[in-house]
Amino acid sequence: MSKEFKTIDELMGFYEKNMPKNVVLVKNRERYAEILKSIEALNFFIKSISPDAVVEITMGDIDPSAIYYNATVDEIIIYKVKEFCEAISTASNFEIYPKSKSKIQLSILFDGGYEAAPPHNDPFPGYKKSK
């Protein structure tokens, strides 16, 4: 369906009426435990490399089921590659990039740390799978 809007208010009204409704999120116990284990290992690596690292752990803005691990450090040197790979093995994505003032950012995304509480845990309500 295509619809033309004459004003931004019409567009926003349509969006608000038709956008998905918020649901209560709860920890996805199994996935959350995996993520915590990875975060503990990452903290060990980051603090051993850069003791004054600034670490932030947040929920996702766009996808609140995601957990983000961000560390701002002076340098990143991975001495124990196998252990580091194990620590990030549960991550959905990770990036390392330069920041201003000679800092480096390590950002790791863990999808699925939270999930919709019942009865809203069906991501496609009303959709019936074909056999």
- Per-residue pLDDT in tens (0 to 9) along the chain, 131 residues: 567 888 988 888 887 777 666 677 889 999 999 999 999 999 999 998 889 999 999 988 777 889 999 999 998 888 889 989 999 999 999 999 999 888 999 999 999 999 877 765 555 454 444 44
Domain boundaries along the sequence of the chain:
24-116
**CB 17 within 8 Å of CB 36:** no
27 bridge partner residues: 114
Which DSSP helix (H) or strand (E) runs through 58?
strand 54-59
* pLDDT score for 36: 96
**Burial call 72-82: b when 16+ CB within 10 Å, e when fewer:** bbeebeeeeee
Answer left, alpha or beta for residue 112, where phi above 0 means left and psi between -120 and 50 means alpha: left
Task: Write down the H helix ranges in 19-131.
Answer: 29-49, 81-88
**CB 17 within 8 Å of CB 67:** no
Phi, psi of 129 (to 5 degrees): -70, 140
**Whether pTM exceeds 0.75:** no
* pLDDT score for 2: 62
CA torsion angle 24 63 3 14 (round to 10): 40
5 bridge partner residues: none
CATH class of 24-116: alpha beta
